Structure 1
Amino acid sequence: MFFIPQPQVYMRQPQSPPPAFIPPKPEVSYVVDCLYEYTYVWLLNGDNFWFYPTRVEYGEVSGYRWNGAFWMFYGIDPRIIDVVACPPIPTLY
């Protein structure tokens, strides 16, 4: 007997693009507070991008990074993250 792992709901990539705006950069933030949320990430090297974190562990943050066209699975060393922002997404109602 063998087991074929099935994709978990919590590991699936987002089904829509991130918001069209860049949120203000916060003073202090914690990526664990942004799990399963559209999150804007600023790295210490000056890079910044939209990210959808699905897992936070010691020494690793993984999820999906927006490349401008689609979401790609991506992992980050949390030591290189400057700050993150996961703002509420405006709705029509």
Structure 2
Amino acid sequence: MRKKPTTRPPNMVPPYCRILRGTGPASIRQHVGYLVYIWTVDGDGFWMYPTEVRGGILFGYIWKSAHYEYAQLRVSLVDCLY
């Protein structure tokens, strides 16, 4: 498992981009180790630092208003990422 980030994410929310929709495990793996903004299929959005994609699950650190929290997210719930 990679260490959690030491810097805060940007204060802005990037624009939703339809081009980046339909993200699957192979696409998400390209972003492991980089801070990304994720939109879920139910419309939620948050900053995440992915550390691993395994068995259809995305592992990493999600920014929760003042700190990072380790979390798991089913890849099928990811609508798109930036």
Normalised TM-score (structure 1): 0.75
Unpaired segments ≥5 residues, structure 2:
none
Aligned to 2:39: 42
Whole-Å separation in 2 of the counterparts to 1:22 and 1:61: 21
Give, in whole Å, the separation in 2 of the partners of 1:66 and 1:32: 19
Tell me which residue corresponds to 2:13. Answer: 22
Superposed structure 1 runs of 4+ greater than 2 Å apart = none
| Secondary structure at the counterpart of residue 11 of structure 1 | coil
Deviation at 1:74, TM superposition (A): 0.5
Report the aligned-residue RMSD: 1.3
For structure 1, which runs of at least 5 residues remain unmatched after alignment?
1-9, 86-93
- Identity, in percent, stands at 28
Secondary structure, counterpart of 1:79 in structure 2 = helix
Aligned residues between the structures: 76
1:55-70 mapped onto 2 (5 Å cutoff) = 55-70=52-67
Matched, 1:31 2:28: yes
- Quote how far apart the aligned CAs of 1:58 are: 2.5
Task: Determine which structure has the larger strand proportion and give its number.
Answer: 2
